[in-house]
């Protein structure tokens, strides 16, 4: 059965929505460990912002469609800007970040998977429509945690400055899918890439919780 791109995007949105709600519950599950602090989680955010920026840059160079290419360029710059904002916030909180390498010890498995995607529709589905929706959900959980911890300034940074950009990146993905996810083949590839991205995010979250007691970490 052939779906229009509008029908397809609505269906993908609904599918993602269910899994994102689960991810949010898992991200906020249990009591936060006493060792879990806002600066510690902001260091993880730096890693995520850097990966998001690098991914957009890598994809931009060999994405042929001009609208997709420019959307990636805009995202690349936004994520770099977020990196600097978060770095400033960490400095204000007393973390000098001396010796900190946001890329250590190696790229996340999810970045490895995403970098391997070739098609514009898959990239828009996984990297923007889904990864950025994950970021919005996780940042929201993190901003709640900041408020509970009494750090209203970090909560405001996320809610008022970072989240509007992440929502915009998600919407860029939606626009590209509406334009290009027009065949059953493209739609199947987009759906698979979105599902794999959500699985990857869940795995990373579970591992972080089990290995290091980390939950409530922001996205990108
Ligand atoms: Fe983003
Ligand atoms: Fe970001």
What's the pLDDT at 26? 87
What's the pLDDT at 33? 79
- How many angstroms separate the Cα of 87 from the Cα of each of 23, 67, 179? 26, 30, 36
CA 217 – CA 208 distance, rounded (Å): 9
What's the pLDDT at 138? 95
Token pair recorded at residue 25: 């519950």
Q: What is the mean pLDDT of residues 173-189?
A: 98
CA 64 – CA 129 distance, rounded (Å): 19
Q: Sorting pLDDT into bands at 50, 70 and 90, what band is 32?
A: confident
Average pLDDT of the chain?
95
**Is the peptide bond preceding residue 102 cis, with omega within 30 degrees of 0?**
no
Task: Tell whether the model's pLDDT for residue 209 goes beyond 90.
Answer: no
Instruction: For Cα atoms 152, 51, 126, give the angle at the middle one, nearest 5 degrees.
Output: 100
Expressed in angstroms and rounded, the spacing between residue 30 Cα and the centre of ligand 2 is: 26
Expressed in angstroms and rounded, the spacing between residue 43 Cα and the centre of ligand 2 is: 13
Q: Give the closest ligand to the alpha carbon of residue 132.
A: 1
Expressed in angstroms and rounded, the spacing between residue 23 Cα and the centre of ligand 2 is: 18
Expressed in angstroms and rounded, the spacing between residue 173 Cα and the centre of ligand 2 is: 15
Q: Give the closest ligand to the alpha carbon of residue 49.
A: 2
- Name residues whose C-beta falls within 8 Å of residue 84's C-beta, 6 or more positions apart in sequence: none
Expressed in angstroms and rounded, the spacing between residue 49 Cα and the centre of ligand 1 is: 8
Expressed in angstroms and rounded, the spacing between residue 24 Cα and the centre of ligand 2 is: 18
Tally of CB atoms within 10 A around 30? 10
Tens digits of per-residue pLDDT, 37-55? 999 999 999 999 999 999 9
What proportion of the chain, given as a percentage, has pLDDT over 90? 84
Expressed in angstroms and rounded, the spacing between residue 81 Cα and the centre of ligand 2 is: 8
- Name residues whose C-beta falls within 8 Å of residue 87's C-beta, 6 or more positions apart in sequence: 46, 97
Expressed in angstroms and rounded, the spacing between residue 47 Cα and the centre of ligand 2 is: 10
Please list the alpha-helical segments (H only) found in 93-160: 109-115, 120-123, 131-148, 152-156
Residue by residue, DSSP assigns 37-91 as -HHHHHHHHHHHHHHHHHHHHHHHHT--SHHHHHHHHHHHHHHHHHHHHHHHHHH
Tens digits of per-residue pLDDT, 74-130? 999 999 999 999 999 999 999 999 999 999 999 989 999 999 999 999 999 999 999
Task: Tell whether the model's pLDDT for residue 1 goes beyond 80.
Answer: no
**pTM (two decimals):** 0.95
Task: Tell whether the model's pLDDT for residue 168 goes beyond 80.
Answer: yes
What's the pLDDT at 88? 98
Expressed in angstroms and rounded, the spacing between residue 78 Cα and the centre of ligand 2 is: 6
């Amino acid at each position: 059965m052939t779906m229009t791109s509008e029908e397809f995007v609505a269906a993908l949105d609904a599918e993602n929505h269910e899994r994102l709600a689960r991810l949010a519950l898992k991200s906020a599950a249990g009591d936060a460990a006493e060792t879990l602090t806002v600066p510690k989680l902001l260091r993880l955010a730096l890693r995520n912002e850097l990966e998001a920026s690098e991914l957009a840059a890598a994809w931009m160079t060999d994405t042929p469609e001009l609208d997709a290419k420019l959307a990636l360029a805009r995202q690349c710059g936004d994520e770099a800007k977020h990196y600097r904002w978060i770095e400033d916030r960490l400095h204000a909180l007393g973390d000098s970040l001396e010796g900190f390498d946001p890329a250590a010890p190696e790229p996340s498995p999810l970045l490895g998977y995403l970098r391997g995607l070739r098609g514009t529709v898959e990239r828009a589905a996984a990297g923007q429509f889904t990864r950025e929706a994950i970021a919005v959900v996780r940042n929201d959980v993190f901003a709640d945690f900041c408020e509970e911890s009494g750090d209203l300034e970090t909560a405001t940074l996320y809610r008022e400055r970072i989240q509007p950009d992440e929502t915009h990146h998600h919407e860029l993905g939606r626009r590209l899918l509406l334009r290009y996810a027009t065949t059953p083949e493209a739609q199947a590839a987009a759906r698979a890439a979105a599902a794999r991205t959500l699985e990857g995010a869940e795995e990373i979250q579970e591992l972080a919780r089990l290995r290091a007691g980390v939950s409530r970490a922001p996205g990108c």
